[in-house]
Chains A and B, each alone.
Chain A
Amino acid sequence: MYITLIWLPLLGSLVSGFGGRWLGRYGANIFSTTCVISSLILSLLIFYEIGLCGVTCQLSLASWINVGSLSVKWGFMFDSVTAVMLVVITSISSLVHLYSISYMETDPHCPRFMAYLEIFTFFMLILVTADNVLQMFLGWEGVGLASYLLINFWFTRLAANQSAIKALIVNRVGDFGLSLAIFTIFYVFSSVEYSTIFSIVPFFQYYYFSFLNFKINSITAIGLLLFVGAVGKSAQLGLHTWLPDAMEGPTPVSALIHAATMVTAGVFLIIRFSPLIEYSFFVLRTLIIFGAMTAIFGAMTGAFQNDLKRVIAYSTCSQLGYMIFACGLSCYNVSMFHLTNHAFFKALLFLSAGSIIHAVSDEQDMRKMGSLIKILPLSYSVILIGSLALTGFPFLTGFFSKDFILEIAQVSSYSNLNNNFSGLACWLGSLAVFFTAFYSFRLLYLTFINNCNVSRVKISLIHESNLLMLIPLIILALGSIFIGYLCKDFFIGPGTNFWGVSIFNLPSYTNQIEAEYLPVKIKWLPFFLSTLGIILAIFLNISIYRWYKNVQYYNFLTFLISKKWYWDSLYGKFLIRPILNFGYSVSFKNLDRGFIEIIGPYGLMKIIPSWAGMLKKIQTGQITHYLFFTVLGLCFFSIVLFLTSANHLFISVPFILYSVLLFFI
């Protein structure tokens, strides 16, 4: 059952990818969807067995690498974190498969699309089920590769190519950090297996290794390098630029990769390594700072975007920030809970956005939509549910996880735990709540309620999607309503033993109990802020007199934010272009084609004919000149003989020969 779950998507991918021309469109669709739905059923069984019955399972298939003390096996470990991730991945993937059968109906490359989706699911499963870091890295890189293939699915589009390359390369920066982390792990612990590493971490708490004559705490170094990996994959501030651009792929791809699975890999990594990260104060603080800044950055930027998918992409970025700083506050289970809930409502948002885009003839700009509420009531209701869940409306899914994250942040800033950084996280997170509500309802207003800005020809074509697209939406909407409530006691209930040993908390960092007993008025804060955001969004959009349009500072600010705080331009100007210039002018033109060629073939080719020409000029044809050189040579010879035989001068034969040579040159 355990291995079947993993191999089924690979089988589906290979069959629908290589056999697509024989299976045909529907054959490939049905086969791959069946495979992934079987995986879903198996993963639900596994969730029952591991999560509810409390059994963990570890399988070791074969030896992979066996060199010296490095011994890597093909091993699979199924514990609570893995089980949750399995359910998330396979359920979102199944729904996306179902959805894209209909969404990609008119696309000529349907089997290829299905194969890519399946291979993505497969690598994601490898990532979460691995029992050693190396195999996890296989899944990690495979997910990156699959994301490249999927974003670049419409490979004739230039923008899709560019975005896919950007996604791959920016991810690769993080991957480099992760591979360094793996090297460091092996150097410090002499093992790459989770069980070995995690059991001996406490002994290495004060272990320093020397690098470039600096003494570096091994745990902190490993944690930071792992975090670099997570920054790349989970689009934290700094390497987030790939995520919004990855919206060039088809919408189901965005739902699968950029909402539910791939971006959660970074958070999963941090959660998986909780026994290690927990021992490094510094890494935890870094997580808090980066997570909080990503949360506020994503939320603010999302509030001023005009592309429907980009708003949701920045929302993802922001929610990932929440997850990361929840990890920084040592509440890995809350982070995992938010990850699960977020997967459901973000997949819902993306898929309903896809449904809207599909309806208005592939128009993505929100300013060219409006008044769709009458024509697309079902899309409206599901996206409303998704948005309310996202803003943390009470008793929807987002409420249970997101508000709890904020409560935990408030605990540490209110009590005498003396954690200054979580005060930062608390304020930035709360502000992000406000902006989250603002952009969600701005999106809803511009798309559904605003005056209609769709052209007349397109209006006549607008229709609700067919049932195959609506069923996943409805399932996800139900999930967005109920998952949080149903799973609350598993995941973050007081004293829950659901997680077993898969998540580790130092007792001194445990602060979830305090979060339950916060003053009520503080607990209301996120709700008030999100209500304020909703009211502001509605007010700004329905007020007829747009007073704010003419305020200079406002315009400057909105321009700045809608240009994503100039991250991309600054990166382009100060990082990408200098590197490209360096590559072209220094390493290519000056080194490869310049220096090495001049001292190599090209230079010799130029210099030998010129020397030969000079030597040739000596032979004038005049007999007297020849005689002159004959006698001169005789004189030189006798001088050389004289000087070398009489040892009183520091002149040797080679020196004289060189001077003769120089004379000729």
Chain B
Amino acid sequence: MYEQVNYINTSTLLFLISIIGIFLNQRNILVMLMSLEMMFLAVSFNFIFSSILLDDIAGQIFSLLILTVAAAESSIGLAILVIYYRIRSVITVELMTLMSG
């Protein structure tokens, strides 16, 4: 029932979906942040499944740490977003081209 291929497939699929979510979304930066969170989730899944399969606690510790880091990052990211919105009053990704080479 818990076939390992399925676990890995699920987490990889989740990861790829979140990458595509970042790629295909040209408008809203909030969706990008959400995809980012989904990537963290996929990685966390992977760690937890692996830890169970390998019977090792380190994966679960890592996933806890990742959760913490993800929370911190999303808070900082949202804060930056708020500041950005306050200045530009728009959060469209397409228009963020000030730093071109």
Listed in ascending order, the chain A residues whose CB lies under 8 Å from chain B are 616-624, 627-628, 631
Asked if B100 is at the interface of the complex by the 8 Å CB criterion, the answer is yes
Q: Pick the residue among B25, B32, B96, B100 that contacts A619 (CB under 8 A).
A: B100
**Are B26 and A624 neighbours in the complex by a CB distance under 8 Å?**
yes
Chain A residue nearest to B22 (CB atoms) is A627
Alpha-carbon separation in the docked complex, A307 to B32 (Å): 99
A638 to chain B, nearest CB (A): 13
Asked whether, in the complex, the Cβ of A623 is within 8 Å of the Cβ of B23, the reply is no
Nearest chain A residue, comparing its CB with the CB of B19: A631
Residue numbers of B with Cβ under 8 A of A are 19, 22-23, 25-26, 32, 93-94, 96-101
Q: Are the C-beta atoms of B97 and A620 separated by less than 8 Å?
A: yes
Contact of B93 with A623 in the complex, beta carbons under 8 Å: yes
In whole angstroms, how far apart are the Cα atoms of A623 and B47 in the complex? 28
Ordered by A's residue number, 18 sampled pairs between the chains whose C-beta atoms are within 8 Å are A617-B101, A618-B101, A619-B101, A620-B97, A620-B100, A620-B101, A621-B96, A621-B97, A621-B98, A621-B101, A622-B93, A622-B94, A622-B97, A624-B25, A624-B26, A624-B93, A627-B22, A631-B19
Report the minimum CB–CB distance from B17 to chain A (whole Å). 14
* Cα-based distance from A621 to B19 in the complex (angstroms): 19
Q: Give A250 to B4 CA distance when docked, in angstroms.
A: 110
Q: How far is the CB of B24 from chain A (nearest CB, A)?
A: 9
**How many Å lie between the Cα of A16 and that of B7 in the bound state?**
109
- Other A-B pairs beyond A620-B100, A622-B97, A631-B23, 18, CB < 8 Å: A616-B101, A617-B101, A618-B101, A619-B100, A620-B97, A621-B96, A621-B97, A621-B98, A621-B100, A621-B101, A622-B93, A623-B32, A623-B96, A624-B25, A624-B93, A627-B23, A628-B23, A631-B19
Nearest chain B CB to A581 CB, angstrom units: 48
- Residue from the set A617, A618, A623 with the largest chain B CB neighbour count within 10 Å: A623
CA distance A618 to B101 in the complex (A): 8
B contact residues around A621 at 8 Å (CB): 96-101
Complex contacts, B98 vs chain A, CB 8 Å? 621
List the A side residues contacting B97 at CB < 8 Å: 620-622
Which 9 pairs, one residue from A and one from B, show the smallest C-beta to C-beta distance?
Answer: A619-B101, A621-B100, A621-B97, A616-B101, A621-B99, A620-B100, A627-B22, A622-B97, A623-B93
Nearest CB in chain A to that of B101: its residue: A619
Residue of B nearest to A631 (CB): B19
Q: How far is the CA of A631 from the CA of B35 in the complex (A)?
A: 15
- Cβ distance A29 to chain B, nearest Cβ, rounded Å: 81
**Min C-beta distance of B9 to chain A, whole Å:** 18
Which residue of the partner chain B has the closest CB to A634? Answer: B19
Residue numbers in B under 8 Å from A623 (CB-CB): 32, 93, 96
Distance of A656 Cα from B100 Cα, bound (Å): 28
Closest Cβ of chain A: how far from B73's Cβ, in Å? 16
Q: Closest Cβ of chain B: how far from A620's Cβ, in Å? A: 5
Q: Please, how many angstroms separate the alpha-carbon atoms of A631 and B39 in the complex?
A: 14
Provide the residues of chain A in CB contact with B19, threshold 8 Å.
Answer: 631
A658 → B minimal CB distance (Å): 24
A624 near B101: Cβ-Cβ < 8 Å: no
Interface centre among B22, B25, B93, B98 (most CB of A within 10 A): B22
Q: How far is the CA of A229 from the CA of B18 in the complex (A)?
A: 90
Question: How far is A363 from B93 in the complex, measured between Cα atoms in Å?
Answer: 94
Report the minimal beta-carbon distance from B66 to chain A, rounded to whole angstroms.
19
> How far apart are the CA atoms of A628 and B100 in the complex, in Å?
15
**B contact residues around A620 at 8 Å (CB):** 97, 100-101
Alpha-carbon gap, A619 to B32, bound state (A): 20
A108 to B26, CA, bound (A): 91
Q: How far is the CB of A107 from chain B (nearest CB, A)?
A: 74
User: CB-CB < 8 A to B96: which residues of A?
Assistant: 621-623
Instruction: Give the CA-CA distance A624 to B24 in the complex, in Å.
Output: 8
Q: Which residues of A contact B101 (CB under 8 A)?
A: 616-621
Residue on B nearest A622 in the bound complex, by CB? B97
In the bound complex, how far is the Cα of B22 from the Cα of A275, in angstroms? Answer: 99
Measured CB to CB, the closest approach of chain A to B57, in angstroms, equals 29
Docked pose: A623 CA to B94 CA in angstroms: 8
Considering the complex, give the chain A residue whose CB is closest to the CB of B26.
A624
- A617 to chain B minimum Cβ distance, whole angstroms, is 7
Residue of B nearest to A628 (CB): B23
A567 to B101, CA, bound (A): 68
A502→B96 CA distance, assembly (Å)? 101
Query: How far apart are the CA atoms of A622 and B101 in the complex, in Å?
Result: 10
Q: Give the shortest distance, in Å, between B72 (CB) and chain A (any CB).
A: 21
Residues of A near B32 (CB, < 8 A) are 623
